Amino acid sequence: MKQYEIRDPVYGFITFNDWEKCIIDHPVFQRLRRIKQLALTEMVYPGAVHTRFEHSLGVMHLATMRYDSIVNNNKRMLEDHLSYNDIGLKKDRQLIRLAALLHDVGHAPFSHASEDILPTNPKRNKPYKHEDYTTTIIKNLLKNVIEAHPINKRNCRIEAEEVAALIEGNTEVIGESIFWRVLISSQLDADRGDYLLRDSYHIGVKYGVYDNSRLMNTLALGIDPETDEVILGVSRDGWHVAEAVVIARYQMFAQVYFHKTRRAFDYHLRNAMKKTLNGEKLPGIESIEEFLSLDDYAMWGRFLNQKDDHDCLSIINRNHIREVYSTPEVPNQEDETELREMKSHLEKSGLWFHEDKSERLWYKLGNSKNGDREIMIISGDEKNARPLSHFSSIVKNMGEVKQIRIYVRPEDRIRAKEVLN
């Protein structure tokens, strides 16, 4: 089977077969070249101009490496508890590669920054998630390129529906293979495993760098004592690298994803996009072609044509709202009382303000799409699981970040500071 390889700044080379190449070459995947991984983070860190395209290739590569390591080190457990044989393991390896490759294919322009303007899903009466677009694209637009390739027909017979099911968690379609969703979305998944390393590389920080080789070698399966389910964890020898991953995530959150200026641009971006879209919302999944016609480039074109709008101008001229107050990262009741007082002062002064909560951020440490179960440490022949916080006093003492910030218009900054002091 012919293999292709391309250069990657994080892993050196990423390889893929002809079937995967056809998927990568599809226009809906190529669109990811035009969606930046970190939206307008480049306003703070100029190197943050990498795209969902290279991240998606990286996730496929890393998911495969982690899968191979888990299978090599835990084959007996996979056979005994999840009824795997070699054929099943080979098929699921390919299924995971495809799901990892395509997990972000339904991203809106500017990645997560635009998720607040996705329309309401009439079936659930809740806003769509980017995963809804991803699975719609896989099941419809990518169905043929996934199912019809000779490599698939001869070797795997994977259906587009199965790839989507692994991403959306539909056990009716993929049954016990749902187990591998932990490689797509969890504390030990390939998605965050890649973006921590890749974002750090491009931005020029070291906060997200962890010992990926060591983590890979120490991935282990264990048994959850509350449910007797098989769980993915890290062997006892590797608990320090598990701790390093948790710290890396916290540091990247604090220093990059929740950076006060970056968040200010998320605010302007959301407003600017609203004003350039019909009904102030992105198209729904029933208008998938229209949705796919929108990328960062298309939105920039719209912003440049709306120079009378202050949010578009804020982005074009890099003149953003300014933070004038913030709570501690883990606020207590007294902090909440003080926050209310600060808002009351601003209201009485007639100053406009914007309140930003870390819990509204996709990258926040406890985001459901990230499957943030505490990393479990696996010990002994019995494969007993214990939480990482049992070993690491650092992890034990880390709190859920619920910081809240108040921003005002740039011209009001000095007055607001006076009001709040």
Binding site for other proteins (CB under 8 A): 83, 124, 168-172, 175-176, 178-179, 181-182, 185-186, 224-231, 330-333, 336, 340, 343, 346-347, 350, 352-355, 357, 359-360, 364-374, 384, 386-387, 389-390, 399-400, 402, 404, 407
- Residue number, 23 or 416, with CB nearest to other proteins: 416
Q: Maximum distance among all alpha carbons in the chain?
A: 72
CB atoms within 10 A of CB 387: 15
Angstrom distance (rounded) from CA 260 to CA 219 = 35
CB 22, min distance to other proteins, A: 28
Angstrom distance (rounded) from CA 370 to CA 393 = 23
- Residue number, 214 or 402, with CB nearest to other proteins: 402
- Residue number, 227 or 421, with CB nearest to other proteins: 227
CB 353, min distance to other proteins, A: 6
Angstrom distance (rounded) from CA 128 to CA 118 = 6
- For helices 413-420 and 333-348, angle between their N-to-C axes, nearest 10 degrees: 120
Contact in structure between 409 and 321 (CB atoms under 8 Å): yes
Contact in structure between 386 and 379 (CB atoms under 8 Å): yes
DSSP bridge partners of 221: 232
Please give the helix or strand (H or E) that residue 14 lies within, else none: strand 12-17
- Residue number, 286 or 347, with CB nearest to other proteins: 347
CB 95, min distance to other proteins, A: 15
- For helices 160-168 and 86-102, angle between their N-to-C axes, nearest 10 degrees: 70
CB 219, min distance to other proteins, A: 16
- Residue number, 15 or 344, with CB nearest to other proteins: 344
Angstrom distance (rounded) from CA 409 to CA 273 = 19
CB 175, min distance to other proteins, A: 4
- For helices 190-203 and 239-252, angle between their N-to-C axes, nearest 10 degrees: 60
CB 335, min distance to other proteins, A: 9
- Residue number, 50 or 263, with CB nearest to other proteins: 263
